[in-house]
C-alpha cells in the first residue's frame, strides 16, 4: 500500500524456466490433449522425457502435490505459478509407478528432484509420457520468450524467460 501511495513501482521480475526433464522439446500446441494444446490451463511448453525423473524448473515453493503424484504445482520465487503434469491421462494410474520426492510447502531449487516415475509403465498404461509445463495464472505473465531448443537436459536447458507482472 505504501508503494502505491508514494508512487514507487516494483520492477517486473524475470524468471528463467529450465526443462523439468531430460528429453525432447514439444510445443504445447502439439500436445495430443486439447486441455493443454488449446491452452485451456495456460501457456507453456511440454517435454517428451527420456527418463523417469522430473526436477523443478524454477526456484520456489511446492504449493501442490497431487495425491496420485502425477502433477506438481510450484510458485516460483518471482511469483509465477507453474504446473508440471507428468504424462497424459496418468491420473488413471492412481499413483502406481510414481514416487513423490517433495511435499506441499517444501522449498525447492532449480534441478531438485520432484517426482520419479516408472517411464516404461507410463508408456504402456497411459496415453503418453509427454509432460506439459503450464503457467496456470495467465494474468501473472507480462512477456514470454521461448528459446530455440530441441534436446533438453533436466534442470539445465533454459526453455523460456518470463517477465512476471509486479
> Is the per-residue pLDDT at 10 higher than 80?
no
**85 assigned to some structural domain:** yes
> Is the per-residue pLDDT at 3 higher than 80?
no
| Residue, of 14 and 12, whose pLDDT is higher | 14
**1 assigned to some structural domain:** no
**5 assigned to some structural domain:** no
Distance between CA atoms of residues 86 and 67, nearest Å? 13
Q: What secondary structure does DSSP assign to 99-144, as a single string?
A: EE---TT-EE-TT-EEEEE-HHHHHHHSSB--EEEEES-GGGEEEE
| Residue, of 85 and 9, whose pLDDT is higher | 85
**4 assigned to some structural domain:** no
pTM of the complete model: 0.92
Task: Supply 120's cell numbers.
Answer: 516404461
3-state DSSP percent of the chain in helix, strand and coil, to 5: 15, 40, 45
**49 assigned to some structural domain:** yes
| Residue, of 2 and 142, whose pLDDT is higher | 142
Distance between CA atoms of residues 37 and 40, nearest Å? 8
**141 assigned to some structural domain:** yes
Task: Give the N- to C-terminal CA distance of the chain in Å, as an integer.
Answer: 13
Question: Which residue range forms the structural domain that includes residue 123?
Answer: 11-164
The CA distances from residue 69 to 7, 35, 47, 124, 137, in Å, are: 44, 19, 17, 18, 21
**CATH number of domain containing 134:** 2.70.70.10
The CA distances from residue 13 to 54, 79, 164, in Å, are: 25, 9, 5
**Residues 113-137, mean pLDDT to the nearest whole number:** 96
**69 assigned to some structural domain:** yes
Residues with catalytic function? 85
**6 assigned to some structural domain:** no
Can you give the pLDDT at residue 95? Answer: 96
Can you give the pLDDT at residue 9? Answer: 60
Q: What is the pLDDT of residues 88-102, one digit of tens each?
A: 999 999 999 999 999
Q: What's the total number of domains in the chain?
A: 1
> Is the per-residue pLDDT at 112 higher than 60?
yes
Amino acid at each position: 500500500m505504501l508503494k502505491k501511495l508514494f508512487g514507487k513501482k516494483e520492477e517486473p521480475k524475470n524468471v528463467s524456466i529450465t526443462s523439468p526433464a531430460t528429453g525432447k522439446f514439444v510445443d504445447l500446441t502439439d500436445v495430443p490433449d486439447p486441455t493443454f494444446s488449446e491452452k485451456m490451463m495456460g501457456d507453456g511448453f511440454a517435454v517428451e522425457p527420456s527418463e523417469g525423473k522430473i526436477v523443478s524448473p524454477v526456484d520456489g515453493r511446492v504449493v501442490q502435490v497431487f495425491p496420485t503424484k502425477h502433477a506438481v504445482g510450484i510458485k516460483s520465487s518471482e511469483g509465477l505459478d507453474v504446473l508440471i503434469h507428468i504424462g497424459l491421462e496418468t491420473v488413471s494410474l492412481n499413483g502406481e509407478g510414481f514416487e513423490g520426492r517433495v511435499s506441499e510447502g517444501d522449498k525447492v531449487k532449480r534441478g531438485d528432484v520432484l517426482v520419479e516415475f516408472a517411464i516404461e509403465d507410463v508408456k504402456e498404461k497411459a496415453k503418453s509420457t509427454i509432460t506439459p509445463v503450464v503457467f496456470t495464472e495467465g494474468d501473472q505473465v507480462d512477456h514470454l520468450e521461448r528459446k530455440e531448443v530441441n534436446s533438453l537436459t533436466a534442470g539445465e536447458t533454459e526453455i523460456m524467460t518470463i517477465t512476471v507482472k509486479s
